[in-house]
Chain A
Amino acid sequence: MTYYLVKRLAIGLLTIWGVVTAVFVVIRFAPGDQATVALGPDATVEQVEALRHSLGLDRPLLVQYFSYLGDVAALDFGESYRYGRPAMQAVLERFPATVTLTLTATVIALIAGLLLGVLAGQRPGSLLDRAVSTFTLGLQAVPPFWVGIMFILVFALQFRMLPSAGGGSPAHLVLPAVTLSIPFTALVARISRSGIAEAMGEAYVQTARSKGLTERSVLSGHVLKNSLIPVVTVVGLQLGNLLGGAVVIETVFAWPGLGSLLVSAVGNRDFAVVQAATVLIALCVIVLNLTADIVNAKLDPRIRLEAPR
């Protein structure tokens, strides 16, 4: 267990370093530098040069890179020139809204996905199974931003049941969370369906029946938990994607989270914020994957967290 954790920690640090480097490279080579965008089209060349100098952008790239790495290692992500505050502070301020959104979407996806998975997987090949599988495939095929726009048109503009944009109340959460959960629901449904279908064919399910259990007890006692293992793995891996999806959905619904902050920071070339946000997202993904592994080890006694040498 200790060896496992140390190894995972090392891999995690390496991943963060990779993310930091990738972001650095992409930002430096993207068109339009920070100083030009910040000062606007009317600025003189001298003004731009002065700002570039004060931001350290006129130094050689490698020097910039290592001084930046040093700062990140010291947990200093620099100032957001846009907000005039430490970048990480601006990012952390928006973080809870994103966590709320993604957590809600995850809960919706888990409940709806598992429900669909149980319906379909209980009798593989049945009419219900085929109907649910077709539905799930449909869910996976529609682009989430399009669903988001449809939701806004129908529920917000047509029926005026729910607010279309902004945050602050549970009602504001409904549309973006449901939208965000859709592809994830489809994924959970597919994985849990195949997990349940497979478990239903296991010999130990026959054993459970031979003890006189009802089908419901067989399902809850011997099938669900056993088929949860692949679901947990996939959920752990895909939560990162969900955070990525949140960037788009937050923009569509003007949800005041990390995603919309990130999009506007990219537009403003507010690199400190972009870097702080990406590092935080990477950190989340790493922690979530680790959690999924630990949960699985708890679910399945055959999984040992001690990696073989």
Chain B
Amino acid sequence: MTEKPLSTVAASGSPASGAGAAPAPGAPLLQVEDLEVVLSTGSVTGRVIDGVSFGVGAGRTTGLIGESGSGKTMSAMSIVRLLPDGAETSGRIVWRSQNLLDAPRRRIREVRGREIGVIFQDPLAALNPIQPIGKQVGEILRRGGMARQDVHARVLELLGRAGIPDPEQRVDVYPHELSGGLRQRVMIAMALAGEPQLIIADEPTTALDVTTQARILRLLADLRHQEGLAMLLVSHDLRVMAHVADEVVVMYAGRVAERGPAREVLERPRHPYTRALANNVPAVSTKTAIAEPLQGAPANPFDRPSGCAFHPRCPLAVERCRTEKPELREVEPGRFSACHRATEVAP
């Protein structure tokens, strides 16, 4: 597959800088190139991720959106190799000029937590129920050889930084004793502990109520500005994306449907799928000219339709869409769409 330049590549176009040196803001920190993930479950084998490419610039936020099952989690977790047993990956995941896909396990363990932190969707399930939260937050520090006293002080600081009131009182409590919002703050403190440059947040607010969601998003945005953290944010909530992301990658059935600057993509979609997603959320599309809710079920990546996987649900589908798979191409500067009729998609 021919790879198009990524929209996050800075004007200089320089590759990611080596370990240690902080890359200039916007320079690509992470590039996922033509990623494929093949999963076998019992008798069926499917390419659940089929040629996905995107990037995250230093200090920037890239959002992954798409319906359930479109491959957001798979794409994000491939980066730190946290996939189900038996998943086969190919392509390139370039992190600080190294392809992580052929890096040894040792190196992956170094990257996990210390260079790339992960925040999971459901903090209650993602925290060990029988360990005090402070111990879990400090684990990576202890393993790194930090002295006990220092770990304690640092854990308190991290909990405070994640917006947990009275860290001294909370450091020894168990996850079930905290509210959902506080638990997610613990996850965030834990992800920050290793001082990563990139945080992968897989639907960090889905398990929370609306007010708490907003607070957690604000915290993530603050952290990003204060610490220059880059973020790969997975969400199917377009409102969240419009607020937080610089770039968005719209996924459908394990492929990239559209990619580009967040506001532009969400306000002037160049793919009928994005347009349908945006139209489902009135707050996002300022001009809800065509009320055209998404119909039908998402395509199954284990049994993808021919040609463009979206064609059975697409109002613009023509014969060509059924037979020929559209490549992701630059339809206007910085905007990429995998649609044969990209230029005809009206907002």
Is there contact, CB below 8 Å, between A206 and B120?
Answer: yes
Among candidates B109, B112, B126, B143, residue contacting A203 with C-beta atoms closer than 8 Å: B126
The complex places the Cα of A222 from the Cα of B128 at a distance, in Å, of 7
- Chain A residue, CB-CB nearest to B77: A206
Q: Which residues of chain B are within 8 angstroms of A208 by Cβ–Cβ distance? A: 128, 139
- Chain B residue, CB-CB nearest to A300: B130
Q: Contact mask B92-124 → A, CB, 8 Å, 1/0? A: 000000000000000001111110011010100
Q: Which residues of chain B are within 8 angstroms of A225 by Cβ–Cβ distance? A: 130
Number of interface residues, chain A, beta carbon within 8 A: 22
Query: Is the C-beta of A212 less than 8 angstroms from some C-beta in chain B?
Result: yes
Closest Cβ of chain B: how far from A292's Cβ, in Å?
A: 16
Is there contact, CB below 8 Å, between B128 and A204?
Answer: yes
Query: Is the C-beta of A306 less than 8 angstroms from some C-beta in chain B?
Result: no
Among candidates B85, B114, B130, B190, residue contacting A302 with C-beta atoms closer than 8 Å: B130
Q: Contact mask A228-261 → B, CB, 8 Å, 1/0? A: 0000000000000000000000000000000000
The complex places the Cα of A221 from the Cα of B142 at a distance, in Å, of 13
Is there contact, CB below 8 Å, between A210 and B112?
Answer: yes
The complex places the Cα of A302 from the Cα of B174 at a distance, in Å, of 8
Give the interface centre of B128, B131, B143 by most chain A CB atoms within 10 Å.
B128
Q: Which residues of chain B are within 8 angstroms of A217 by Cβ–Cβ distance? A: 143
Is there contact, CB below 8 Å, between B129 and A300?
Answer: yes
The complex places the Cα of A206 from the Cα of B130 at a distance, in Å, of 16
Closest Cβ of chain A: how far from B226's Cβ, in Å?
A: 22
- Chain B residue, CB-CB nearest to A213: B143
Q: A221 and B118 in contact (CB under 8 A), knowing A204-B126, A210-B82, A211-B112?
A: no
Query: Is the C-beta of A89 less than 8 angstroms from some C-beta in chain B?
Result: no
Query: Is the C-beta of A209 less than 8 angstroms from some C-beta in chain B?
Result: yes
Q: Which residues of chain B are within 8 angstroms of A207 by Cβ–Cβ distance? A: 118, 120, 126-128, 187, 190
The complex places the Cα of A123 from the Cα of B114 at a distance, in Å, of 27
Closest Cβ of chain A: how far from B130's Cβ, in Å?
A: 5
The complex places the Cα of A122 from the Cα of B67 at a distance, in Å, of 33
Query: Is the C-beta of B194 less than 8 angstroms from some C-beta in chain A?
Result: yes
- List 8 other contacts, CB 8 Å, given A206-B82, A211-B190, A211-B193: A203-B120, A207-B128, A207-B187, A209-B112, A211-B194, A212-B112, A213-B139, A299-B130
Point out residues on A near B: beta carbons under 8 Å: 123, 202-204, 206-214, 217, 221-222, 225-226, 299-302
